[in-house]
Amino acid sequence: MLKTRLTELLGIKYPIMQAGMGPFSNNNLCVAAANAGCLGLLSTSGLFNKDDQPWIYNAFCDTGEANRDDDMAKVLATVLKRTHRLVKDKGGVFGPNVMVSAELKDKANIMIETAIKVREENPEMKKTLKVMYTSAGDPMGWGEKIKGAGFIWVHIIPSVKAAMRCKKAGVDVIVASGHEGGFHTHWEPLHSMVLFPAVVDAVSDAKTLVVGGGGVSDGKTLAATLALGCDGVLMGTRFLATQESDFPALWKQSVLDAQDRGTLVARGYVGPARWLRTPRSEEHAVNTLKKSPGVFLGTPDSYMTMEDTSLIDFENESIKAVYEGNKEKAMMAAGEAAQRINDMPKVEDLVKAMAKEAEDIIVNLPKKYVK
């Protein structure tokens, strides 16, 4: 059995985190991952899209058994309590993924304060709702609220500099996110083989754990990530293509159909994003080069300051098409690992097979190379 500091800290069976995957609904996937012995993460940023992307918001409410007409806090509270109800008998562990970028500070406060209130009103949830996972922003200023409420705090970053910022803020588990990952990626591309050991060397100690995400999809990549010094892995694309995944059927099948060099980077909601390669996403990449060249130059810009909104309009139309099953206009995000995924197992079967493969590699590697 694989045993790491992450499994010990969280009380999970496998050193595997299921990625937050926002803004898209993953309510049922989170339950399946938690019940399989991983850390399950709930996407929450879909709650911000009630007016401009109702197809995302409605899917979040419907899969979470929440009322579409309730306010943001009540919807999240419903989803958190539902998740607890469905994982408590198996000892599942989960948490919400909250985007804490400056422009979303007010909404992030609502998300975090709702989770704190739900746990206080339902003390038994402290056994399952253990984690607060933050993303897409500066961790400074959030620690007192999150750790003061008793949560284990996880934050995701793209660089050593950002990891050091997490260390200063008091983050418990730092997720190093390599450029191979799907959808939201980084202005300055740094890939997992370099990023993981660099972050481990910079911040890992008795109080700070490091998890690696980006390109992980099986036991081989799990074993490799552990060998680089990480305490566990974060996976999104591999979990997307599972039977319990909430993602639309077209999206899941498109991951299975991905071939060699099957992804590309173009504009996304909060910066660079990795998409499955299709004629539609190739068109988006060409338009990105013309209208948001910083995506390819490592120079951040913002949709908030752009006079030309055609890129975000194109993206919104493309995401809506996925939910409508319109393959011609659809554009699906995924990591580079998509080209290595060719089946759609149940989550429990997936993680069992991953762990077994990783264990075999770790046990047998010295026999092959150490004389």
**Per-residue pLDDT reduced to its tens digit, 238-262:** 999 999 999 999 999 999 999 999 9
Report d(CA 363, CA 161) in Å as an integer. 34
Which residues sit opposite 266 in a β-bridge?
273
Residue whose C-alpha is closest to residue 55's, from 253, 299, 246: 246
What percentage of residues in the chain have a pLDDT greater than 70? 99
Q: State how far the alpha carbon of 245 is from the alpha carbons of 32, 252, 280, 315, 321, in Å.
A: 9, 8, 24, 22, 18
Maximum Cα interatomic distance, the chain, rounded to a whole number of Å: 66
Confidence of residue 270 (pLDDT cuts 50, 70, 90): confident
Confidence of residue 309 (pLDDT cuts 50, 70, 90): confident
**Per-residue pLDDT reduced to its tens digit, 17-74:** 999 998 899 999 999 999 999 999 999 988 988 888 899 999 999 999 999 999 999 9
Residue 158 and residue 175 in contact, taking contact as beta carbons nearer than 8 Å: no
The structural domains of the chain, with segments of one domain joined by +, span: 5-247+342-369, 259-333
Residue whose C-alpha is closest to residue 269's, from 24, 17, 18: 24
Query: Strand ranges (DSSP E) for the chain?
Result: 16-18, 39-43, 93-99, 131-135, 152-157, 173-177, 183-184, 209-213, 232-235, 263-268, 271-276
Q: Which residue has the higher pLDDT, 304 or 131?
A: 131
Report d(CA 157, CA 208) in Å as an integer. 14
CATH of domain 5-247+342-369: 3.20.20.70
Contacts of residue 175, Cβ cutoff 8 Å, sequence gap at least 6? 17, 154, 155, 156, 157, 210, 211, 212, 213, 234
Q: What is the pLDDT of residue 222?
A: 98
Kindly report the pTM of this predicted structure.
0.95
Least confident of 133-137, 241-245, 269-273, 331-335: 269-273
Residue 229 and residue 200 in contact, taking contact as beta carbons nearer than 8 Å: yes
Residue 81 and residue 88 in contact, taking contact as beta carbons nearer than 8 Å: no
152 CB burial (10 A radius; 0-12, 13-18, 19+)? buried
Residue 53 and residue 316 in contact, taking contact as beta carbons nearer than 8 Å: yes
Question: In the block, which residue shows the tokens 């400074």?
Answer: 140
